[in-house]
Structure 1
Amino acid sequence: MTKLAYLANKSGGAYCQCSTLVLYNWLEKQTKTVVNIVDTINGDEFPGLYSLLLPERCWCDDNIRVVIDTEWRSKCEAVVINTDTSEVIRLTKDDEIGNWHVLDVVDDYVLAQCSPPNQPHFLMVGELPEANKEQEIKWNRLGEDATLEDITWKILKHNRSPDGDVTKEFESVLISPKTDSSKKPPLVVYPHGGPHSVFSSEYSLYAAALCKCGFAVLFVNYGGSTGFGQASIEALPGNIGTADVSDVQFAAECVVNSAFKLVHKRRVFLAGGSHGGFLTAHLIGQYPDFYRAAVLRNPVVNIASMMHTTDIPDWCCVEAGLGFDFKTICDPAGYQALWKHSPIRYADQMKTPSIIMLGANDLRVPPSQGKELYKALHSRGVTVRLLIYPDNSHPLNKVDTEADAFMNIVKWFWDHLHKEVPEETI
């Protein structure tokens, strides 16, 4: 092997941005950029590279092409990249499979982990054809088909014009139980964390289980999500708490008011963790009559207080639109800016029954954030529960914790499912 391929990002700025693919030739001692950052896209064009790391083995036998996966709008696709010509070719265009994760490349055989939202992960293997014929690859499934036939899914495209002349495009993934056309399921709106991440159309145990319990789930990839071009990512810092909140609410209202009547319009719930919890708190503050109940997992509540307790203080400043330097001491104007973007400012408007779930050992969003919201809601007479999970950090992903959290989420939603809501508030 005479070449090294690696991903590169500029220092500073938002976490999880569009990457460049760089090639270093050991023999010639030269570096060249193979794939550049993509700022904007039209339709389903290649949006740039969004991968945290490359497969340990990604080179083809010709020592020219590499096979990796990348977020591509609301999917994750496998691509082959010619390091001589910089050509990027998508190997996966199956509308039935939303997520492809390249695990290994050996002797031009590509092994990938795949799944759509209604099927647990499975393996696919394909032999990569010669250069310029890559799209002819034939994939072979390993193992049996375990599709959940009673769950359906689709990617929804949203177009919003917040500035009048400029149309903003983003997407969401709607996962629903198959029901009688006269029975509309309640909806759980679920924005992702990050904020610069994405819900690819892959299997989610929580989403599938919620569908089995009768709920539809809307995963919202609001503006600033990865996989939609670098310009979308750079547009969000300085606008969190407004632009992302408006996108999520717009997506929810699109589904609720759809002419296809996909869900029950008066039974809408809300859930989110980390920045998704931040958005959940904002939404119940800015749209207090829209949601029946909410679940917040390790939510960002007050950025001004979080900045001095989190392990990522730069995140607080960058996403609030402020510059960051470790030597800088925040002044009153800076604290005011952090407060302006924080959902705690809407505490007086919040009345949605809420359950807050915290990891006792969370360093990313310390539990003091969720406790601050709990105190604010409880003191104002809002129905609220606080669950703290020992020995858990930010993901809340220990087996017993996942089980307990899911049972509490479903029970919380069921308890508020048949609550009467005045028609004029919808």
Structure 2
Amino acid sequence: GARLHYVFNKDARGLSLSCHFQSFLPSCSNRFLSSYSLSGDLKAVVRVTSGQVVVWSDRCLKKILDLSALNKHGRVYEDAQFGCLAWSTCESRLLYVAEGKRSIGESYASASSPSAGEPRDKSVYWEDWGEGLTSKSVPVLCVADVAKGTVTVLQGVPSHVSPGQGLWAHDGESVFFVGWWHEPFRLGLRFCSNRRSALFCLDLEGNCECLSGDTSSVSSPRLSPDGRYLVYLEGQVFGPHSQCLSMQQYDLETRKISVLVDVVNRPKKDEFAGLYEALPPRCWASDSQRVVFSSARRNWRQTVQSFSLHSAEKFGSWKLLTIQNDLMVVHCSHLNEAPRLVIQYCGHSYIALGIEVTPIQRAGLCSFPGGPHSQFFAEWNVTTAVLVKLGFAVLMVNYRGSTGFGQDSILSLAGNIGSQDVKDVQRAVLTALADQTAEKLLTLDPDKVVVMGGSHGGFLACHLIGQFPDFYKACAVRNPVINAATLLGTSDIVDWRYSSVGLQYSYDQLPTPEALTTMLQKSPITYAPQIKAPVLLMLGGKDRRVSPYQGLELYRSLKSRGSPVRLLLFAEDAHSLARVDTQADCFLNVVLWFQQHLYLH
């Protein structure tokens, strides 16, 4: 279908805006990748479902490559973890990542590969990369030659790593990529910046070199416009699955690595608090001397340029989307202001007007814990906005262990889950209630407090209603962790089950009675007999991170005691319950559940 495209141009007179319709883009129902060439003259679109590469020039069709017919590889990767679509500097070739032919990766999945001529067993188990990446097993780097209409699977990638996040070197004769270790077996990658990986350079002849160290985690390689510098993010292996990262710079001329941004352990007030998220695909200024990126600072997300902060308290949370020719496009929003785009160049902003949500009289307080190592930003959240419109006050808690407050805060949660985080949330709720009493606002009813959360937030919500059974009047949780001991053998991030309770992990780890006891003692299932609040459970049948049997374990425990509980099972959804129909279903059921048990009808 046709889509409206906005084009910003910069000249001596300033910025100009033009818009036009483009009808060549695939429909929303067809997952795709798209990329403009460096000059902006060409646009490539990969239709993932149909396996086609469509190249356009000046809104005219130039080339169609049928990848399925060429049969060089499997489905193209469109995810943010591995996927890429990069034009070479000569604008004749495209680099992307796809699932390799199963014969390529046979040795990855079994100890002994079939010999030549021996039939392959279709029932052999193929590891994947876990939650959100269940169709990804053996990624390969591929080059499509637009002019010749050919596809080549690049050779030379080390057999012990899975490649992704590829980009071209300036000469167009080699590529850079991140390689993740898949030996001895794969652990879940999504939302995890703690997987062993390294930065590699591979030329088109099959010669491969590791550019970084090989004992850390690496991500987000970005090449400077002059082709001399590569910046990338680096973190530790194992431990918290999300962490404060450093930014490293590799000088392609001197072959030396230097630290541009170091890990921040304990940020001081109003100072840079560390780097916690992926770099934008385009983040270099045109002079190849500055990198622009967004990162969390306490409850805000800010855009950082030359390592000086742009104030977020005044304008809201800022997330850099891209920078081209020193023109930055920034996503900006606030808690009561819908998202808008900010176009900024050399410190001058051109801002579209936003809208405001005005809270109405509140009937109760909805506590909304997340985590464990993520955070709520002071930015627009549609769920929160609608809850406010319906009469709820919403408290989103960044407890100790959340990102944006330094690495020491993140590390403080290990071994203290079910205690430190629970106490932080409860203290925040009590403080919110006390503050409104002190200010004589009296809009919050302490007898109508409910709690909701997902994943570790669901873990916290269930702890709260168990540890404070008379305080919370209702609870709604999405894919909650209920029993860390029984989750141990079913989660795609088994390492976190050890790290979260303060234990070290290794691939050959076997559970001990002491470890299982510790996991059980820190789990909300131990408080199930004390739960009084009605509980709504929303589970994804294809969740690889937190098995739906976790929620079922609590469901059965509550049912056996006659405690009010309702379970919604979304058989085709996964951990994030991200399908549009699922999100709508969940939200409506949460609101009705709270209204029913707060007697708000």
Task: Calculate the TM-score normalised by the size of structure 2.
Answer: 0.60
As a proportion of its length, which structure holds more helix? 1
Question: Within 5 Å, which residues of 2 pair with 1:108-127?
Answer: 108-127=326-345
One of 565, 574, 577 as aligned partner of 1:396 = 577
One of 445, 453, 456 as aligned partner of 1:264 = 445
Quote the residue 1:170 is aligned against.
Answer: none
Quote the residue 1:282 is aligned against.
Answer: 463
* Contact 2:452-2:458 within 8 A present in 1 as well: yes
Cα distance, 1:119 vs structure 2: 2.3
* Contact 1:98-1:200 within 8 A present in 2 as well: no
How large is the RMSD of aligned CA atoms in angstroms? Answer: 1.2
Letter in structure 2 aligned against 1:202: E
One of 56, 71, 78 as aligned partner of 2:303 = 78
* Contact 1:67-1:78 within 8 A present in 2 as well: yes
One of 48, 59, 62 as aligned partner of 2:284 = 59
Quote the residue 1:306 is aligned against.
Answer: 487
Q: 2:248 aligns to what SS in structure 1?
A: strand
Unaligned 5+ segments in structure 1 are 82-87, 129-136, 151-176, 420-426
Quote the residue 1:412 is aligned against.
Answer: 593
C-alpha distance in 2, partners of 1:376/1:17?
35
Quote the residue 2:356 is aligned against.
Answer: 147
C-alpha distance in 1, partners of 2:598/2:238?
44
Question: Within 5 Å, which residues of 2 pair with 1:166-245?
Answer: 177-179=359-361, 184-193=362-371, 195-245=372-422
C-alpha distance in 2, partners of 1:262/1:209?
18
Letter in structure 2 aligned against 1:201: A
C-alpha distance in 2, partners of 1:300/1:245?
14
Q: 2:452 aligns to what SS in structure 1?
A: strand
* Contact 1:257-1:265 within 8 A present in 2 as well: no
Letter in structure 2 aligned against 1:6: Y
Quote the residue 2:272 is aligned against.
Answer: 46
* Contact 1:76-1:99 within 8 A present in 2 as well: yes
* Contact 1:25-1:31 within 8 A present in 2 as well: yes
As a proportion of its length, which structure holds more strand? 2
One of 294, 304, 312 as aligned partner of 1:69 = 294
Q: Structure 1 stretches (4+) deviating beyond 3 angstroms?
A: none
Larger relative contact order (Cα-Cα within 8 Å, sequence gap ≥ 6): 1
Q: 1:121 aligns to what SS in structure 2?
A: strand
One of 523, 532, 535 as aligned partner of 1:354 = 535
C-alpha distance in 2, partners of 1:232/1:262?
33
Question: Within 5 Å, which residues of 2 pair with 1:347-386?
Answer: 347-386=528-567
Quote the residue 1:252 is aligned against.
Answer: 429
C-alpha distance in 2, partners of 1:293/1:278?
15
Letter in structure 1 aligned against 2:519: L
Letter in structure 2 aligned against 1:116: H
Cα distance, 1:55 vs structure 2: 1.0
Q: How many residues align?
A: 370
C-alpha distance in 2, partners of 1:185/1:45?
38
String of CA shifts for 1:161-192, please: whole Å, max 9, x gaps: xxxxxxxxxxxxxxxx243xxxx431100001
Cα distance, 1:96 vs structure 2: 4.2
C-alpha distance in 1, partners of 2:465/2:576?
22
Quote the residue 1:169 is aligned against.
Answer: none
The structure with more radius of gyration: 2
Q: 1:326 aligns to what SS in structure 2?
A: coil
* Contact 1:256-1:262 within 8 A present in 2 as well: no
Q: 2:589 aligns to what SS in structure 1?
A: helix
C-alpha distance in 1, partners of 2:581/2:360?
29
C-alpha distance in 2, partners of 1:94/1:235?
26
